[in-house]
Copies of this chain bind each other. A is one copy, B any other.
Amino acid sequence: MLTNRIRNAALERRIMSADKAAELFATGMTVGMSGFTKAGDCKALPDALARRAREDGLRLSIVTGASLGNDSDGMMAEAGLIERRMPFQADARLRREINAGRVMFTDQHLSETVEQLRCGNLPPIDIAVVEAAAIHEDGSLVLTTSVGNTASFVEQARKVVVELNLAMPLALEGLHDIYTPGARPAREPIPLTSVSQRIGAPVLRVDPERIAAIVITDSADSPSGNLPPDAETQAIAGHVVQFFSAEVGAGRLSPALQPLQAGIGTIANAVLHGLLESSFNGMTMYSEVLQDSTFELLDSGQLTFASASSITLSAGMNQKLLDNVERYASRLVLRPQEISNHPEIVRRLGIIAINTALEFDIYGNVNSTHVGGTHMMNGIGGSGDFARNAHLSIFVTKSVAKDGAISSVVPMVPHVDHTEHDVDIVVTEWGLADLRGLAPRERAALIIERCVHPHYRDMLRSYHRRACAAGGHTPHLLGEAFEWHQRYAATGCMRATEAATV
């Protein structure tokens, strides 16, 4: 079996246990780990490294593609292994350590991490730990369900630890397109001009001498935690489909739309799911992660091709894919996240970006990350890479959270991830506000009437009316701007007492 997976006999001598491989690491090192939204992450080393942290106090900086699966982030954090972490995470236990100031987390645009590493703005990667499905005779790696930052980690690291995952089918070979940009300032254009184009190699080249250890694993990726569509997410999808139809009617979009990006999570997945009911066809995706909805649209024939950096599916859909890789292979490609999210490509292709807001304000500034303006949820992820450069930048959210105690539309967001410059359209289950070409006062009027839950509409109308009376291009009352957030912290509800009775 392993001769199929390790096609270089000399490399078989590097096979060792995860605990043995963990001895290669020393406190102070920066480690680049494969893994992007729980796909293609290492399954054994995180556990072995956490054990060393508990036993001899090992401390590392951990850089990944995005979030890891298998509770690895939480386990490593609780063991005290993680001194620094970037560029994204989505784990409750790691989040707790970050918000307590015990783990130094750097929240980054996902296209930028390896660029910053490459030019020395960040400390170099000492060891890369990457999951692979096979190793070629020349050392080249066949990656698995994500590419993430793996290619650049391997390019830049002194040593490489490979986790060879026998649960990943060999049919994955050929799915990947590995391309990394050259050094600056004499870099060539990235030659990609269409969603389905391949510009690199199907395998990740690595000098076998640099492979310091091979650890054998045999376990699946963690399943996606997306919830099924509900009445609100279906309403959001309906507004988006109706808007696209109007754009097609006005001649600004074709029935194939333009390459679609959708952020990770339940709401963005539901919006794509909603396209199943639409008449659009010949659609393509150029996204960072492919979720269940992508495969539903490939199956319906409406989607002709999907490019991303990662595939994160429910357990059932994941098994279906792994059993039928050949059926999808000609319509899929996985790229480094630097390329899937690259501003150059996002702008060139004219992508329609659909991302989820934690909350947005009456002027269309978006908070994607910080609960109450202070506590990190997951990270900005790729939303900034896409929103800034998209043909259309759309943010979606339910109008309220916690049974109505929180309004997702507020007077002013207490943390800004996306400024109003980068937000064209906002959508809740109540409606869609098309903000293109509008000045802030006009944006506010539209957002309040179209997107806000009726329980909060009068409160926002009042805030905006009084702020406008005080004047300014972007009227605000600084003494009141965060009153809703403070009231929620004090009383458990953003509504003022009199409004709560409405």
Which residue numbers of A lie inside 8 Å of B, CB to CB?
84, 86, 98-101, 104-109, 115-116, 119-123, 184-191, 193-194, 250-252, 258-259, 342-344, 347-350, 365, 370, 372-376, 380, 384, 388-389, 391-392, 412, 414-417, 419, 421, 424, 436-439, 441-442, 467-468, 470-476, 478-479, 481-482, 485-486, 489
Contact = CB atoms under 8 A, between A and B. Distances in A.
B471 A374 contact: yes
28 contacts: A84-B439, A99-B472, A101-B441, A104-B439, A104-B441, A105-B439, A106-B439, A116-B436, A119-B350, A121-B252, A122-B436, A123-B437, A185-B350, A187-B348, A188-B193, A189-B189, A189-B193, A189-B348, A344-B347, A373-B474, A373-B476, A373-B481, A374-B471, A375-B473, A376-B474, A384-B419, A388-B388, A479-B482
Nearest to A250: B120
Contact of A370 (B86, B342, B388, B473): B473
Contact of A184 (B115, B190, B258, B470): B258
Nearest to A284: B185
Contacts of A189: 189-191, 193, 344, 348
Contact of A258 (B84, B104, B185, B485): B185
A83 B251 CA distance: 26
Given A187-B348, A373-B481, A375-B471, 16 more contacts: A105-B473, A106-B438, A121-B437, A122-B436, A184-B258, A185-B194, A185-B349, A186-B193, A187-B350, A370-B472, A372-B472, A380-B421, A384-B419, A412-B414, A414-B476, A478-B482
Given A365-B416, A437-B121, A441-B101, A184 B374 contact: no
Given A185-B258, A189-B193, A479-B486, A473 B98 contact: yes
Nearest to A191: B189
Nearest 9 CB-CB pairs, A to B? Answer: A374-B472, A184-B350, A189-B189, A376-B473, A416-B416, A104-B439, A344-B344, A120-B252, A478-B482
Q: Say how many copies of this protein the assembly contains.
A: 2
Given A194-B186, A388-B388, A471-B375, A419 B416 contact: yes
Given A185-B258, A438-B104, A485 B478 contact: yes
Contacts of A187: 193, 348-350
Contacts of A419: 384, 416-417, 419
Contact of A348 (B121, B193, B344, B475): B344
Contact of A104 (B115, B389, B424, B442): B442
Q: Which of A101, A392, A489 has the most CB of B within 10 A?
A: A101
Contacts of A191: 189
B391 A119 contact: yes
Given A365-B416, A439-B106, A486-B479, A252 B374 contact: no
Nearest to A391: B119
Contacts of A438: 104, 106
Given A437-B106, A473-B99, A373 B478 contact: yes
Nearest to A107: B421
B468 A101 contact: yes
A453 to B, nearest CB: 22
